[in-house]
Chains A and B, each alone.
Chain A
Amino acid sequence: MSILVYIEQFDGKAAPVSWEVLGKARTLVDQLGGKLAAVVIGAGVEGVAKEAVSYGADVVHLVEDPSLAAFRIDPYAAVVEDLVKTHSPKIVLFPATARSRDLSAVVACDLDAGLAADCSDLSLVDGGLAAVRPVFSGNLLTTVRFNGPLAVASVRARSFPTPEANPGRAGEIVKSGPVAPTTGIREEIKSFEATATGEVSLTDAKIIVSGGRGVAKDPELGFKLIKELTDTLGGAMGASRAAVDAGYIAYKHQVGQTGKVVRPDLYIAAGISGAIQHLAGMGNAKIIVAINKDAEAPIFSVANYGVVGDLYEVVPALNAEFKKRLG
């Protein structure tokens, strides 16, 4: 294998960014030669392995055991490290989700390989990986190059398009079990409280509607109107830190330097001034729409479309308009 891609799954469902990474890896392997391998770890996850073939893997290492049902670092890292040692890929790629980011770091550190975290682009230069990542909170970009035989990178969601799945595609599924002892694992998960299902995650969202301190007059109504527009558009709801700090909305919605970094096709900012720490989180959106009652607000200098007006009027009007069009 020349590239190995770790496919993250939770409860038997793959994280969508896994396929984005696999799709990009396919194009890299087509230049590099060799085989594109994927690894799926868990219990009862053969369906995910089949999907990996349909999304472009030549070989999928399916590693299953009841002790691997929930993600824990030591046994998962042991599997990936074993595959790397056995098959010597040049490049190992991970989605940059919370768990996979940890896993990528542990694997790279154990194997003394260089790691580029949270990459936004990947290419090959002289047959080696060149990984682009934002640094200085998005104010600069760098291309990471690697010393040594192995390069490891984690990739942010929505950096690459989701490839077309081809259910008829041929690929080999190689089954095996855990490589580390299945008892005495030093991490014990006591409980897990899932967040509301059906909520689109900010990092995977194509459309985000965010609210800021501009809702201060009536925060409950403000975020209700923002939520309605979000739901009409099938997107995810975001917020500025000012709105989170004021207690209008939970931290998990925060976009920005100390919140989530997002990359939607459409970002609608309502009642957000556009502070640089907010821009650090959403400056890479394809289209930015600003709704603000202050025509001088800095957000307008990064927006593609702007409306000067009261969000309590503009947001519901926009919602009504899209409701009409989207049925």
Chain B
Amino acid sequence: MNFVVCVKQTPDTAELPKISAAEAVSGDIKATLVLNPWDEFAVEEGLLLEDRFGGDVTVVTVGPEKATEALKDAIARGVKSAILLDDPAFAGSDAWGTAAILAAAIKKNGPADVILTGKMSVDGNSGLVAPGLARKLGATLLTQVTKIVDISGGKITVERMLEEGRETITVSLPAVVSVSKEINEPRYPSFMGIRKAAKAAIPVWKLGDLGLSAGAVGTGAAKANWTDVRKPPARSSQVVMVKEATVDATAAKLADLLMAEKVI
């Protein structure tokens, strides 16, 4: 069985508020970059599937050279092989462009049965790479997956959490599975793993290696473009502290204020 985990390097969530619009536009982010927190669950699930069903896990990312650190984080957790997809022509790709690059790499790497992704990236916040990838690969799409029940007979059965409840669904392989955080408890990188990762030689595949044309990816191919990136308007509120002689009086005062706001 072949498993592929798609990961992205993203800013540390604690530093997100410091990122300026200019940094977001240029992509030259000063914040500490880490493995996208949602992708920790995808990496963990890849390792668990390897244990349960046998096979190999490969971790891939589309990103600049420094994104190698995200791949090394996955190696430090136990993934054995990794590929960096890096080419100047990839810059400025929208979700469909990123999906096209990943799809080409997955095909080149050999047929994959299950492709795992995180729920979304904490920077782009789109959650579109998984559906894009499923369509480009002709694979079935499964999002919000909270449990992989079984993989057998060319099919995968999972549980998904939807607004109205929990669905159990069986689909044919190959499948792109975007995981939710309920699916597992990600392990931490191990000491041995970190040493292995430091020494790992990670192949870099470029546009030509993937058989893609420059016009199919990158800024030129993007169908959706970010314009006017800005800080959201600050909450204009100055907090009103409510304090009366007793807790009951405080509650009564607060209730008055909220009724006056017409939110109740």
Contacts from A to B (Cβ < 8 Å): 10-11, 15, 73, 97-99, 101-102, 105-106, 109-110, 112-118, 133-148, 186-195, 201, 203, 206-207, 233, 251-252, 257-258, 265-266, 276-277, 280, 283, 286-290, 300-309, 313-314, 317-318, 320-322, 325-326
A105-B132 in contact (CB<8A):
yes
Say whether, besides A136-B123, A266-B258, A303-B239, A102 and B13 are in contact (CB < 8 Å). Answer: no
- A interface footprint on B200-233 (CB within 8 Å = 1, 0 otherwise): 0000000000000000000000111111111110
Between-chain CB contacts (< 8 Å), 12 pairs: A109-B131, A137-B13, A140-B229, A141-B231, A148-B223, A192-B166, A192-B168, A193-B167, A195-B165, A257-B13, A277-B13, A287-B258
B37-A258 in contact (CB<8A):
yes
Out of A109, A207, A321, name the residue touching B132 (CB < 8 Å): A109
B229-A192 in contact (CB<8A):
no
B224-A317 in contact (CB<8A):
no
Chain B: CB-nearest residue to A303: B239
Residues of A within 8 A of B122 (CB): 136-137, 257
B226-A307 in contact (CB<8A):
no
B232-A140 in contact (CB<8A):
yes
A258-B38 in contact (CB<8A):
yes
Residues of A within 8 A of B235 (CB): 283, 288, 302
Complex CA distance for A35 and B195, rounded to whole angstroms: 62
Given contacts A307-B242, A308-B241, 4 further A-B contacts (CB under 8 A): A257-B13, A304-B240, A305-B257, A307-B250
Complex CA distance for A303 and B238, rounded to whole angstroms: 8
Complex CA distance for A27 and B263, rounded to whole angstroms: 25
Chain B: CB-nearest residue to A193: B166
Residues of B within 8 A of A194 (CB): 164-165
Q: Is B184 an interface residue (CB 8 A)?
A: no
Out of B94, B170, B240, name the residue touching A114 (CB < 8 Å): B94
Out of A11, A117, A303, A309, name the residue touching B128 (CB < 8 Å): A117
Residues of A within 8 A of B16 (CB): 136-137, 139, 276, 280
Q: How far is the CB of A252 from chain B (nearest CB, A)?
A: 7
Q: Is B198 an interface residue (CB 8 A)?
A: no
Interface centre among B131, B170, B222, B224 (most CB of A within 10 A): B224
Complex CA distance for A318 and B250, rounded to whole angstroms: 8
Chain A: CB-nearest residue to B181: A258
Complex CA distance for A314 and B252, rounded to whole angstroms: 10
B141-A106 in contact (CB<8A):
yes
Complex CA distance for A82 and B38, rounded to whole angstroms: 34
Residues of B within 8 A of A136 (CB): 11, 16, 19, 24, 122-123, 125
Say whether, besides A258-B37, A289-B258, A314-B247, A306 and B164 are in contact (CB < 8 Å). Answer: no
Chain A: CB-nearest residue to B224: A114
Complex CA distance for A233 and B123, rounded to whole angstroms: 35
A287-B24 in contact (CB<8A):
no
Out of B132, B163, B169, name the residue touching A188 (CB < 8 Å): B169
Say whether, besides A142-B227, A276-B13, A309-B247, A73 and B141 are in contact (CB < 8 Å). Answer: yes
Counting from the closest, the 3 A-B pairs by CB-CB distance are: A114-B224, A114-B223, A105-B131
Complex CA distance for A31 and B105, rounded to whole angstroms: 44
Residues of B within 8 A of A105 (CB): 95, 127-128, 131-132
Complex CA distance for A138 and B247, rounded to whole angstroms: 35
Complex CA distance for A195 and B163, rounded to whole angstroms: 8
Residues of B within 8 A of A288 (CB): 235, 237
A190-B169 in contact (CB<8A):
yes
B135-A110 in contact (CB<8A):
yes
A135-B24 in contact (CB<8A):
yes
B17-A117 in contact (CB<8A):
no
Say whether, besides A105-B128, A135-B24, A144-B225, A308 and B243 are in contact (CB < 8 Å). Answer: yes
Q: How far is the CB of B232 from chain A (nearest CB, A)?
A: 5
Say whether, besides A112-B223, A114-B224, A101 and B239 are in contact (CB < 8 Å). Answer: no
Residues of B within 8 A of A190 (CB): 157, 168-170
Residues of A within 8 A of B17 (CB): 139, 276
Out of A192, A203, A304, name the residue touching B167 (CB < 8 Å): A192
